[in-house]
Amino acid sequence: MTKKIKILLVVLLCAVLFAACNESLVEGEWAEYLINEHGAVLIDVREQSEFNERHAMGAINIPLGIIEENILNTVSDFQTIIILYCRTGNRSGQAKTILLNMGFERVYNMGGLNDWTGGFSSY
């Protein structure tokens, strides 16, 4: 392997690791702590039908497609800690970007519903 290829691989690996670290994923137990001790708001960004089947206890449902229009009805303080989740972490990652662009400063992606360590509810 040539030196240039090795350097390119190292740079690529560093970029991937930096991107992964920059996702601000928060683990389920840490999310529970932030909710219980710091008043964080837990938001499920899946569709209403998915939410009704099973969701994290205490979560509020604001689907990704309407989060920008509806978030201020639930969270009006831009300093509030917001924890987002969906099924796999993809939609919650998109929602995080939207909320950060709106000016919310403390937004975390918990990932998927299976990352939640607390109780569950359904309707």
- Catalogue all structural domains in the chain, each as residue range(s) with its CATH number: 24-118 (3.40.250.10)
Q: Which two tokens stand for residue 1?
A: 């392997």
What pLDDT was estimated at residue 6? Answer: 57
Report yes or no: 113 and 55 within 8 Å, Cβ to Cβ.
Answer: yes
Nearest C-alpha neighbor of 82 from the set 51, 48, 44, 52: 44
Over residues 26-30, mean pLDDT: 89
Question: Per-residue pLDDT for 50 more than 70?
Answer: yes
Place of tokens 């190292």: 10
Any bridge partners for residue 41, and if so which? 82
Question: Per-residue pLDDT for 94 more than 90?
Answer: yes
Please identify which of the residues 56, 86, 99, 110 carries the catalytic annotation.
86
Active site residue 21: no
Question: Per-residue pLDDT for 17 more than 60?
Answer: no
Question: Per-residue pLDDT for 103 more than 80?
Answer: yes
Over residues 71-87, mean pLDDT: 98
